[in-house]
Amino acid sequence: MANRKKSLLKVIILGDSSVGKTSLMNQYVNKRFSNQYKATIGADFCTKEVVVNDRVVTMQIWDTAGQERFQSLGVAFYRGADCCVLVYDVTAPNSFKNLDSWRDEFLIQASPRDPEHFPFVVLGNKVDLDNRQVSTRRAQQWCQSKNDIPYYETSAKEGINVEMAFQTIAKNALEQETEAELINDFPDQIRLNSDNNRPGNADNCQC
C-alpha cells in the first residue's frame, strides 16, 4: 500500500481579475495577506500538503491570471485538473455573472471525462468588505443549479473559511480519484509477424 500514500491533486483557481485568487492561495498556503494588488502574469504555483481521511495529499495549486491579456498559457494548461476552484468577489456583481463563462471555459478546455460530476468549488471572496452586492442566496441558487457545487464565503484578508474551503476541495477531488481502477489491465500478447515488429526498420542500429 506504499503507493497509496502518495497522492497529488492538481487544483486550478479561476475567476475574474482582482477577485482575490492569488490572495486566497497565499492565505491558504502562507497564512499571509497583502492589500497590494499585483496582477498574476501567466500563472503562479504553490504546493501544500494536507491530510484528508488519514492520507497525506499534496495539493499542486495553479493560480491563473484573471486578466485576459495575461491568459496566454493555452489549452494544455487546464488538462488533467482534479478540481477547479471558481472565485468571485461578493462586492462585484460582474465577477459573479462571469462564473458561468469561467466554468464553461474550463469544461471546454480541460474536457474532463464526466463534466457533469467534475468537482468544482465556488468561493465568494471579500466578505470582510461592507459594500456587498451579491447575496448568499443568489450564489447558492446558482451553485445548486450546477449540480450542487459546494459554496463557501471567504475572506482572504481575514482568513475566514479559507482552510475549510480548501479541505473540501481536496476531499472532493480525492473522491473522484478512487472511482475507476485502470491498473489491472494487462496488454495483449505480442503476435509475431505483425506489422509493428517487422525487422529491418533500422538496420544500422541493430547490435
Which C-beta is closer to other proteins: that of 140 or that of 176? 176
Which C-beta is closer to other proteins: that of 41 or that of 108? 41
Minimal distance in Å, beta carbon 77 to other proteins?
Answer: 5
For residue 8, what are the β-bridge partners? 58
Minimal distance in Å, beta carbon 52 to other proteins?
Answer: 13
- H helices present in the chain, as ranges: 2-5, 21-30, 93-97, 99-110, 136-145, 162-178
Per CB under 8 A, residues contacting other proteins are 2-3, 6-8, 10, 26, 29-32, 38, 40-49, 58, 60, 62, 72-77, 79-82, 110, 112-113, 177, 180, 182-183, 185, 187-192, 194, 196-199, 201-202, 204-207
Q: How far apart are CA 207 and CA 192, in angstroms?
A: 20
* Cα-trace Rg, the chain: 21
Minimal distance in Å, beta carbon 101 to other proteins?
Answer: 20
Order of strands, sheet of 43-52, starting from the edge strand that comes earlier in the sequence = 43-52, 55-64, 8-15, 83-89, 120-125, 151-153
Minimal distance in Å, beta carbon 144 to other proteins?
Answer: 26
Residue 14 contacts residue 99 (beta carbons within 8 Å): no
